[in-house]
Structures are given as structure tokens and as C-alpha cells.
Amino acid sequence: MSTLHELHRPLGSTGFQVSPLGLGTVKLGRDQGVKYPNGFTIPDDAQALALLQQARELGINLIDTAPAYGISEQRLGPLLRGQRDEWVIVSKTGEEFEQGRSHFDFSPAHTRLSVERSLKRLETDRIDLLLVHSDGNDLAVLRETGVYETLAELKREGKILAYGVSGKTVEGGLLALEQGDCAMVTYNLSEQGEKPVLDYAASHAKGILIKKALASGHACLADGVDPVRASFELIFAHPGVSSAIVGTITPAHLAANVATVAAVLQGIR
């Protein structure tokens, strides 16, 4: 069985070694307002626990959640009991999802409240990486709201160990990396506009997490080419990439993704 245990890599200069695949947990907490091609049923606790155990056995140590992912954080707290040091936990601030709709608050007061709430929900004393969940106005969010200054304070207090932005623009990603530790960017077969952010990260030892690596399940190619393999070949050909987040809740998909990434990375080496 292919695993990622021997393929962990640095998350920029944070000091964390992370698996090249991270487990996204939208589907553990939310089934409304999501953009996947097929419907799904949120797994029960037994299924979620089995998925987390499988991820660990496959060498995955990075887990991605957010307040906007419905009840994902609340579920992960109990599910990860006794395993805290086995995981690099990524959460976010800024976006809230209530009554089927997103709204945003990047104020210092909300940022602090959000992080304290995440700590309680996740049953932990620190969040390894905290990302600003941008509404797309990346530069305004970073320059005008005080959110990054608040995250810097929380890092000094030890409540978060690194911070960055999950953004939507090149300019926002670059500013996020200049002043912070990591950026989460969209980079896949059909969207490569944020490549300059990856380039900057590679030359400045900053962390990069890839979202929508498989185009939220929409990745497809013709001519008999495996779209999953082609996606991961593109992503991991770039030296700036730390890890790609995949949000599957299907054990067979998770194992297949891990096997593909292991094959791609061993081929690159």
C-alpha cells in the first residue's frame, strides 16, 4: 500500500513538516452551499473516525477546517481526542456560515472571538496555522480591517503558531506571504492565475497550501489521460507547494489520491 509517511515536507519556515496531501473537512460539517458535482451525505461519527484513522495510516498529518464548514470544528474536537500531537491543524477566521448563507467579519474583536471559539471547539490549546478566510477583497481585508495585526498578536500569545490567508487574488497572496507565513491558493488544471504566489513562496521559504486541487471534483481531461494524476503532476512540479488539500469522504478515493501523489512525488525525486 502506498503511503505518504516518508514524503512529508516543510510548510515554509513554520517548522512544521506536513504531508503533501491534507484532509479537508467541509464534508464533515456542511452539505449546503457547496459546489461539488455530486451530492453527498455527511458521514456519521463512526465513519468520520474511520476516515481520520485511514488518513493517519496513509501518512496524512495535515487537517483543514474552518468555522464556515458548518459543524466541522465541533466534530473534530472529540474525534481527535488523544491524537492532538499527530496532526497539524489548519483553521480559519473571517467567514461565518449560518442559515445557509456566508457572511464575513474581519474585525479584531471578531477575529479574536473566532480563534478562541475554534480553540474550544477543537479542544486544543493552539491552532498550528490560522488562515484569513477572505471574501475575495484580499488587499482591502489585509490592509484595512486589522485582521493580520490581530493574528500577529495571537501568534505572540501562542494561541496560533502560524498565520496566513486563503485568498483569491495574486496581490492578496503576495501580501499575505510578505507579512505572514502561508497562503492557500487555487491552482489546478484549469486555474493557474495565482502561480506568481507559488513562485514567491518558493523563493522566500513561505508555505503554500493548494485548494481546489482537483477543481472541487470537476477535474476532467480527454484522450485517456487520468485527470487526478495530471492534476497532481502539475501541482507538485512546482517547488513552492507544501501540500494540496483534498476534501473526500470516500475511503477508496482517499487511498487512490494518496497512491497517485506518492507515485508522482517518487517520480519527481
Q: Which residues are catalytic?
A: 69
d(CA 245, CA 88): 13
Radius of gyration of the chain (CA): 17
Q: Rounded to whole angstroms, what are the CA distances from 85 to 49, 126, 229, 246?
A: 17, 11, 31, 21
Q: Which of 187, 213, 189 is nearest to 201 (CA)?
A: 187
**Residue 230 contacts residue 192 (beta carbons within 8 Å):** no
Q: What sections of 61-214 are H helices per DSSP?
A: 72-79, 108-121, 138-144, 147-156, 170-179, 195-204
C-alpha cell read off for 161: 503558531
Name the β-bridge partners of 158.
none
